[in-house]
Structure 1
Amino acid sequence: MMKLIGLLLFLRLALSSGSRNRRADVDFECPEVSGMFADPKSCRKFYQCVDNFPYANRCPSPLYFDDVAKFCTFKNEARCGPVATTPAPNVTDEQKATKCDPATCQLPNCYCSSDGTLIPGGLEPSETPQMILITFDDAINELNIKSYRKVFANRTNPNGCPIGGTFFVAHEYTNYQMVQQLHSEGHEIGVYSVSHSSRLEDAGYNEWVNEAVGMREMLRRWADVEKDDILGMRAPHLKPGRNAQYEVLTDYGFAWDSSLSTPPLKVPVWPYTLDHAIPHECRSGTCPTRAFPGVWEIPLNSHYVENFDGGYCPYLDQCVLHNMDADEVFDWLQEDFARYYDGNRAPYVMAFHTSWFQQKRLEQGLTKFLDWATRQDDIWFVTTTQSLLWLTEPTPINNLGSFQAWDCTKRDLPSKPCNLPKSCGLPFKNGKISDTRYMATCFTCPKQYPWLGDTAGSGSETPDVYEPETPK
């Protein structure tokens, strides 16, 4: 934690490809107050429940609803529902995280409030910079790099520094030279996972070590991103791994996580530390139940507008906006954003997959929003770690000119990557799967495709061993 203070190829199609929400005209009872649930009669249909009222949706052809990952995908990947959720493991009262105690939980090492909505440092909204966190999940490659870079091109913050984002990188299909380029431009690199498995929420401690720490090692080895620059992670599909994932984060020196999402809330939740129980509903059902002191959580507040046109979503591409034109998308984003900007100024997390940028009207609407936001003198686009550096030292808007964490003139950027990366065609074997995988990197091609337990791609039968920074 002190390091923080010191300072789909086959990408999944998300719900942005689905049809617009409409009130259910059939007898469907919501299993929970809020959430997305499979139609019991058709794998193509699903319901979005808001305050116990179901809104009917349908995946576009040829997609089907995956009731585990909660998005539309291809038929051979979809797990048709209803799928029973796995109950959380038993945790004794002695182990459970306690409710927020502001008297003992104080900045810079701890932060909480009873419902998660209070501004750190006791600032008024008018004194608080409105932070926007642009994040991207999954592989980085030729399919998305140009679209991603367009988001940031020629846009600056009020201090004249280029705006930045956070990239949660998955291993498969990633071009590591492109990751290195993004890092050299000042963007933050975080961990997603090695395998992109959809069942990690029930994985054990060692599996999370291989996925999270292994991915950090992949980034260090193949994209030259130093371990100390990789401070956070996001669980695949926003399905956190219960307590096991957070034990790994604590033991291996991660400072923050951004895997927990909220239902639609009138007042958005601020980031908090996991010293106490989370202050909002656990939308995934797999949140940590114990305390993990000093680990920050940057929640994904659900996006929505007042009439729920487009539904609600933690990832923007999961809201059903594809029938809107660019101006309507811009208006939708502005209305959603106003809940933060005109309210408690909680960080506005704009989380994306590649699918958003595959639809021109969505991309154009986003461009209009970004152009508008960068003209405001109290809106700042920051990386996840930059937002937390402000949280540990809440600084009023009028004093941000001297806030070192957001000053690009005092930042040493990593070196640029090579111009011509090596394209490595590598043998890959995983269980019954055996084929050739390709990986681009500025470094010498490995013997085989790097994978879980063999991040070097050496082909060694001895699996990788990682030493905890805080041994048990």
Structure 2
Amino acid sequence: MKSRGCMKLEDVLRSNIKLSLLLLLLNVSSLTAANYGDCLNVQSYRGVRKIRNGHKVCAKGDKYDDDGRKCTLCFNGHALNRVCYQEHGWIDRVVNKPGKSKHTICYPEDGYPYHKGESQECPEETCTAENCQLPDCFCHGDSPHIDQSERPMFVVITYDDGVYEVNFDTQLRPFYVDNEYEIYNPNGCGIKTTLFVSMDYTQSDKVKAMYDAGNEIAGHTADHGLPSGEDEEDYKDTIDAIDGMKRILLEETGDSRLVNSILGFRAPYLRVAHEQQFKALRDLGFVYETSLISRRLAREGRPLWPYTLDYKANKCDSAYCNHYCYKGFWEIPLNVWKCSNGYYSAMLDYCCVGQNSSTATVDDWFDYFLHNFELSYDSKTPLSFYTHTHVFDFYPNAFPAFIRWLQHISRSYKDVWFVTMQQLLRWMKDPLTHKQMLKKWQW
């Protein structure tokens, strides 16, 4: 007796061939009508429409207020849905966050929240005190007009990358929120830092806690990556990467004041996305950038002051430097640190300390920190402490040396101020003597 529901092998093959031919005809018809891979009859928040291959539209939500919370990507004829975290838009960068699924950020389908300006050729004339004046312009290589004996000295401590429970509880909060080590500025206020935040492994509530305590939050991209920027086509991806960080932070904290305060940026790995990075920062309303290395300390024995990009720089030590000029946009250079072995590095955690950083003692680390401070103090040029929090995990002796160093400076030098990047620029635009600062700088 024949089993019910069974077919002979040749019948199965014949049916599969017919089905394959039918699907092939349907696919060819679809490709012909939709330009090879376009998606037809896609439900978007603006109704049924066609999506071109490789393009995205905002998806229709399950209810009215869900519209725009998802985006649909057309990939070779397949409509793929993605979750968005801002209404009406998309971004094609995916961010991995601990304990959360992959997600994307949404941008307006009808255009980005920025104004794309035209590139400005650099003036032919040299930057001088006559054609470049504060508060909007400052020449590369110049020093403020205040006499060095009356000039305050600034130390700017910055950290790159993620902010999460461990580094917040052990390294950030004790210094910059609770002031457990009792380190003060000359005006009696606690010290503050600037965090260049990438959203990889970042807990937004910790970022908000740092901001609420008076620290500066700056940009470091959404997922710690930038396009090369070598082509004009990279402009939009650069916009996405830089502004994506702010949009994630806004979605997860709901704090628009925090997000609107983000005016500075540093490129991940210090790999500048060529001219597209400067264009994107200008168009997104950023005020300063700090990814360009200066080796003037190694060449001339004195670091470089911040400067604006109104004119072409006299000397550039980075792998890529801007070819166009950007009026009123500040560059805060990464002045190199001198390592124990005589070499120089822009990020202090890449220096060799003592005989070997892994075996360096607390005294070795303290001497390293203090020597570099003294190199800047000789000219009262700002000392920028560029690092990552994990340096204190890799080199445990560095942490007690760091505490000791900060306490030593705070108690031994009465004209040294620990400031954020924005506070440094505030002073650059309106330079004051140390005595004037004591009267006017209360925060």
* Alignment TM-score, normalising by the size of structure 1: 0.62
Q: 2:196 aligns with which of 141, 152, 168?
A: 168
Query: For 2:154, what is the secondary structure of its paired residue?
Result: strand
Measure the CA separation in 1 of the matches of 2:174 and 2:283. 37
On the 8 A contact 2:197/2:217 being kept in 1, the answer is yes
Query: For 1:402, what is the secondary structure of its paired residue?
Result: helix
Q: 1:140 aligns with which of 156, 163, 179?
A: 163
Measure the CA separation in 1 of the matches of 2:294 and 2:256. 31
On the 8 A contact 1:333/1:369 being kept in 2, the answer is yes
Pair 1:366 & 2:366 matched? no
Alignment-derived partner of residue 258 in structure 1: 290
Alignment-derived partner of residue 60 in structure 1: none
Measure the CA separation in 1 of the matches of 2:309 and 2:386. 22
Measure the CA separation in 2 of the matches of 1:101 and 1:151. 40
Alignment-derived partner of residue 248 in structure 1: 280
Pair 1:149 & 2:179 matched? no
For residues 278-357 of structure 1, the aligned pairs below 5 Å read 278-283=313-318, 285-304=319-338, 309=341, 311-321=343-353, 322=357, 323-343=359-379, 345-357=380-392
Query: For 2:369, what is the secondary structure of its paired residue?
Result: helix
Q: Look at both structures and tell me which one has the larger radius of gyration over its CA atoms.
A: 2
Higher relative contact order, chain-length normalized (CA < 8 Å, sep 6+)? 1
Shift of 1:331: 1.1
How many positions carry a matched residue from both structures?
306
Shift of 1:109: 0.6
Measure the CA separation in 1 of the matches of 2:209 and 2:316. 38
- CA gap of 1:214–1:313, structure 2 versus 1, over 3 A, is same
- CA gap of 1:380–1:187, structure 2 versus 1, over 3 A, is same
Alignment-derived partner of residue 6 in structure 2: none
Alignment-derived partner of residue 109 in structure 1: 136
Shift of 1:143: 3.3
On the 8 A contact 1:180/1:225 being kept in 2, the answer is no
Shift of 1:279: 3.4
Query: For 2:390, what is the secondary structure of its paired residue?
Result: helix
Q: What's the RMSD between the two structures over aligned residues?
A: 2.0
Q: 2:147 aligns with which of 108, 124, 149?
A: 124
For residues 75-86 of structure 1, the aligned pairs below 5 Å read none
On the 8 A contact 2:227/2:238 being kept in 1, the answer is no
Q: 2:223 aligns with which of 189, 195, 200?
A: 195
On the 8 A contact 1:256/1:296 being kept in 2, the answer is yes
**TM superposition outliers: structure 1 runs of 4+ over 6 Å:** none
Measure the CA separation in 1 of the matches of 2:175 and 2:228. 31
On the 8 A contact 1:144/1:354 being kept in 2, the answer is yes
Pair 1:239 & 2:274 matched? no
**Higher percent of residues as helix:** 2
Query: For 2:334, what is the secondary structure of its paired residue?
Result: coil
Alignment-derived partner of residue 221 in structure 1: 251
Measure the CA separation in 2 of the matches of 1:312 and 1:198. 26
For residues 416-427 of structure 1, the aligned pairs below 5 Å read none
Q: Deviations over 1:274-332 (max 9, x none)?
A: 1011233232x222111011101111100005xx5163211111112213211121111
Measure the CA separation in 2 of the matches of 1:201 and 1:246. 10
- CA gap of 1:198–1:209, structure 2 versus 1, over 3 A, is closer
Query: For 1:360, what is the secondary structure of its paired residue?
Result: coil
Alignment-derived partner of residue 121 in structure 2: 95
Shift of 1:198: 6.3
Letter in 2 for 1:390: W
Shift of 1:225: 5.0
> Unpaired runs of 5+ in structure 1?
1-93, 409-472
Pair 1:208 & 2:238 matched? yes
On the 8 A contact 2:226/2:273 being kept in 1, the answer is no
On the 8 A contact 1:129/1:397 being kept in 2, the answer is yes
